[in-house]
């Protein structure tokens, strides 16, 4: 193999790992050395981004048909199971690499400002660097087990960072919830891996995808089971029905963490997994329909909840769940490119929205802190009219809002339209996709509505922060607004990544990802929409987006809103939405409490106390004490007795020996 710049790929995950080691050491030894921590934490990410650019450029120059695999050492050589610690560079991992390191760098820079006054500054950056390391392992891994290491690792870092302020019970609980819910999904991933190994005999991406069309019968039960278990893993990691409940709670973590882990990168791992395995899903039409259906349903369901949330971050959290649903609609439809495209543009505008909300929360927190008030700095009812105080954030968040709502020509318009177009086109072959398309369109309407609602309540109308706190509201420092500007540019212009041929674009992402997707796409039923239909779809999508925004302007009255502490409780259907359809309560009643009851009444009080402690531990002690008592009674101290026993024993042995 000739040496190319791609050989440097090992540096990309190692750099953040180095940052974790250094920052972790500083966190233990000298937590106050904030300058050193910022320099290390940010520079390793920027360096990783630079290396990623070099590697991707080399990949563009070489443009190999097969993935370039770098094997470093044997990891698990067990019989026929040969797992190597290997990384792979191909067009799909290249896209993910640039998104993770690029958006990650911007968020690291933002964190320098946002977390500056936090006592756990070094610990924060150590965890953030570790997260990036695992995320890069996830996207670069050349086999399912290596990917699984990253998959589990990002879950760990997510747990550590959600519960970053662990002194408060609610934060620790949120971290625990995220971890446990993710375990359910990880179980699916594991089962899928074992099934794959059983049937395909390998876990490397290249060999699995090479043999899959011959090993698996298309539409057969085995491949359907494998892909459904894989998707169970995705529902956990990427917060889809029924395992989405952890993501809104994950907003208890610091806001940059929400932007990086719970919007831009980690939660998209499931989409990446389905895209990576697009060939397997193409072989299993039922699973594809499940993926697309769950995605469309989640998109609509989460969007309805977002309509009535007051916490600015919760709105964005449900919006993330909803947008992830779109991505699954895309990859489930077989439009892998559209899904990945939306993943990238979503990373831009959702990171921008989260960082913007971070900027707002930062201002609100400082204003309330200055007057020693304990008002909720994240409740939109306490905001209003912030555009006069945070002009940059205001403008940039509007760009992101227009992008997510799907207003042309911003990035979200192209990616969302591509997904809806693909779903509609597939409806021509399988009519159920018309339903998925309709669900997607309905959520587009709601998306436009709730995002406009968020913007109006936060930035427009009268200010409800309170007279004493108002003079303390001001824009965040440049280290925070700088990354916002970069993300704003990306959100606005991200569409050029994959301009459709319809508007004279080159569909560059589609050509770029062709080596990854063409094998799977060949298995799908052909579905092409005519140009007229495509224009009509675009028209409908834009009309829906505008209707949502206009509706939000007409129906909502920020003037009538009261600050959070004066606001009356919600009633009727609004209350159902505000309480998130009571899904948490339902899970609590159906799953959590029965398990707790079982654990407490049966596993603890019977199995543990009576069986393990009683029969097991104390039983063993009592048995040996009884045996010891018998043994001690044998010791009479009478030499004659010993001799008699000895002689009897010798006689028995002699008798046996003489036989």
Partner 1 sequence: MLLGPSLAVAAVLFAIGVAGVLIRRNAIVIFMCVELMLNAVNLTFIAFAQRLGVAGQIFVFFVMAVAAAEAAVGLAIILAIYRHRESIDLRDINLLKG
Residue 595 or 644: which CB sits closer to partner 1? Answer: 644
| 79: three-class secondary structure by DSSP | coil
Find how far residue 533's CA is from the centre of its chain: 34
Quick one: residue 247, left, alpha or beta (phi over 0 = left, psi -120 to 50 = alpha)?
alpha
3-state secondary structure 345-366: HHHHHHHHHHHHHHHHHHHHHH
What residues contact 549, with CB distance under 8 A and at least 6 apart? Answer: 405, 407, 448, 449, 452
What is the C-alpha to C-alpha distance for residues 371 and 117, in angstroms, rounded to an integer?
17
By C-beta, is 63 or 633 nearer to partner 1?
633
- The nearer residue to partner 1, 35 or 635, going by C-beta atoms, is 635
Q: How far is the CB of 639 from partner 1 (least distance, A)?
A: 5
Residue numbers of the site for partner 1 (CB under 8 A)?
A: 631-640, 643-644, 647
The structure tokens listed for 209 are: 């995808």
DSSP code at position 369: H
Distance in Å, CB of 638 to partner 1, minimum: 6
Q: Compute the distance between CA of residue 513 and CA of residue 57 in angstroms, rounded to an integer.
A: 15
The rounded distance, in Å, linking the Cα atoms of 84 and 147 is 12
SS3 608: helix
Cβ atoms of residues 350 and 440 within 8 Å: no
Dist. CA 415–CA 359, nearest whole Å: 27
**Distance of closest approach, residue 649 Cβ to partner 1, in angstroms:** 13
- Which residue, 74 or 636, is less far from partner 1 as judged by CB? 636
What is the torsional sign of CA 600, 603, 609, 610?
positive
Judged by beta carbon, residue 167 or residue 638, the one nearer partner 1 is 638
> For partner 1, which is the closer residue by CB, 374 or 633?
633
3-class state of residue 210 by DSSP = helix
CA distance 466 to 475: 18
Of 641, 394, 421, the closest CA to residue 531 belongs to: 421
Question: Would you say 29 or 639 has its CB closer to partner 1?
Answer: 639
Which uninterrupted H or E stretch holds 85? Answer: strand 81-89
Which residues are within 8 A (CB) of 248 and not within 5 positions of it... i.e. 6 or more apart? 314, 317, 318, 321, 580
Q: In this complex, which beta carbon is closest to partner 1, that of residue 574 or of residue 644?
A: 644
Spatial CB neighbours of 395, under 8 Å, sequence gap ≥ 6:
488
> Shortest approach of partner 1 to residue 640 CB, angstroms?
6
Please, are residues 113 and 480 in contact by the beta-carbon 8 Å criterion? Answer: yes
Contact 367, 469 (CB under 8 A): yes
Two tokens, residue 563: 């600050």
Return the biggest CA–CA distance within the chain. Answer: 113
Cβ closest to partner 1, residue 566 vs residue 657 = 657
Nearer to partner 1, 221 or 628 (CB): 628
Q: Nearer to partner 1 by C-beta: 3 or 633?
A: 633
Tell me whether residue 207 is exposed, middle or buried, using C-beta atoms within 10 angstroms of its C-beta: 0 to 12, 13 to 18, 19 or more: middle
* Helix, strand, or coil (residue 89): strand
The dihedral sign for the CA sequence 276, 277, 282, 286 = negative
What is the rounded distance in angstroms from the CA atom of residue 156 to the CA atom of residue 162?
10
DSSP 46: H
CB nearer to partner 1: pick between 65 and 639: 639
* Length of the chain in terms of residues written: 659
Pick 582 or 646: Cβ nearer partner 1: 646
> CA angle at residue 181 from 179 to 185, to 5 degrees?
105
Q: Which is nearer to partner 1, 530 or 638 (CB)?
A: 638
As measured in angstroms, the least distance from the Cβ of 628 to partner 1 is 9
Q: Token pair for residue 102?
A: 């690029």
8 A C-beta contact, residue 193 and residue 148: yes
With respect to partner 1, which residue has the nearer C-beta, 553 or 641?
641
Report how far residue 574's alpha carbon sits from residue 567's, in angstroms, rounded to the nearest whole number: 14
């Amino acid at each position: 193999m000739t040496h190319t710049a791609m050989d440097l790929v090992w540096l990309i995950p190692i750099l953040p790992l180095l940052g974790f080691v250094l920052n972790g050491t500083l966190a233990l030894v000298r937590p106050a050395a904030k300058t050193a921590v910022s320099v290390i934490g940010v520079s390793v990410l920027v360096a990783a981004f630079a290396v990623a650019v070099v590697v991707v450029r080399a990949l563009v120059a070489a443009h190999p048909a097969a993935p370039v695999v770098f094997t470093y050492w044997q990891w698990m050589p067990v019989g026929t199971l040969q797992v190597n610690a290997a990384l792979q560079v191909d067009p799909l991992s290249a896209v993910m690499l640039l998104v993770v390191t690029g958006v990650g760098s911007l968020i690291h820079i933002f964190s320098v400002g946002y977390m500056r006054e936090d006592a756990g500054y070094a610990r924060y950056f150590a965890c953030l660097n570790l997260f990036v390391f695992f995320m890069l392992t996830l996207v670069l891994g050349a086999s399912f087990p290596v990917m699984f290491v990253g998959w589990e690792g990002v879950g760990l870092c997510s747990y550590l960072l959600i519960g970053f302020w662990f002194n408060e019970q609610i934060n620790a609980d949120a971290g625990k919830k995220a971890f446990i819910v993710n375990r359910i999904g990880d179980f699916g991933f594991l089962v899928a891996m074992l099934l794959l190994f059983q049937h395909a005999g390998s876990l490397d991406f290249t060999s699995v995808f090479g043999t899959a069309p011959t090993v698996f019968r298309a539409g057969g039960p085995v491949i359907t089971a494998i892909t459904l278990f894989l998707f169970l893993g995705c529902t956990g990691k990427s917060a889809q029905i029924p395992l989405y409940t952890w993501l809104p709670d994950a907003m208890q973590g610091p806001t940059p963490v929400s932007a990086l882990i719970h919007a831009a990168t980690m939660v998209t791992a499931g989409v990446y997994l389905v895209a990576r395995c697009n060939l397997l899903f193409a072989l299993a039409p039922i699973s594809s329909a499940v993926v697309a259906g769950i995605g469309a349903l989640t998109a609509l369901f989460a969007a309805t909840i977002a309509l009535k949330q007051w916490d600015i971050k919760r709105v964005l959290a449900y919006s993330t769940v909803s947008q992830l649903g779109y991505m699954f609609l895309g990859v489930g439809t077989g439009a892998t490119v559209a899904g990945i495209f939306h993943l990238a543009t979503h990373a831009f505008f959702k990171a921008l929205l989260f960082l913007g909300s971070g900027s707002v929360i930062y201002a609100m927190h400082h204003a309330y802190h200055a007057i020693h008030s304990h008002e909720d700095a994240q409740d939109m009812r306490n905001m209003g009219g912030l555009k006069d105080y945070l002009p940059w954030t205001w403008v940039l968040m509007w760009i992101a809002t227009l992008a997510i709502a799907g207003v042309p020509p911003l990035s979200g318009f192209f990616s969302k339209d591509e997904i809806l177009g693909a779903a509609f086109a597939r409806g021509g072959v399988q009519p159920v996709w018309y339903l998925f398309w309709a669900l997607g369109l309905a959520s587009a309407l709601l998306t436009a509505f709730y995002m406009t609602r968020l913007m109006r309540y936060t930035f427009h109308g009268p200010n409800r922060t309170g007279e004493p706190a108002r003079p303390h509201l001001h824009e965040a420092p440049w280290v925070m607004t700088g990354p916002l500007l970069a993300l704003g540019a990306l959100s606005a212009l991200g569409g050029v990544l994959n301009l459709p041929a319809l508007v004279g674009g080159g569909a560059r992402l589609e050509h770029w990802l062709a080596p990854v997707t063409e094998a799977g796409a060949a298995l799908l039923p052909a579905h092409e929409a005519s140009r007229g239909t495509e224009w009509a779809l675009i028209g409908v999508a834009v009309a829906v987006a505008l209707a949502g925004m206009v509706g939000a302007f007409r129906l909502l009255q920020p003037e009538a809103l009261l600050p959070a502490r004066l606001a009356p409780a919600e009633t009727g259907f609004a209350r159902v939405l505000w309480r998130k359809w009571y899904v948490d309560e339902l899970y609590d009643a159906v799953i959590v409490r029965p398990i707790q009851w079982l654990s407490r009444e049966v596993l603890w009080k019977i199995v543990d106390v009576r069986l393990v402690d009683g029969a097991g531990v104390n039983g063993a002690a009592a048995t040996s004490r009884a045996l010891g008592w018998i043994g001690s009674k044998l010791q009479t101290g009478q030499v004659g007795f010993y001799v008699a026993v000895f002689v009897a024993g010798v006689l028995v042995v002699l008798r046996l020996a003489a036989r």
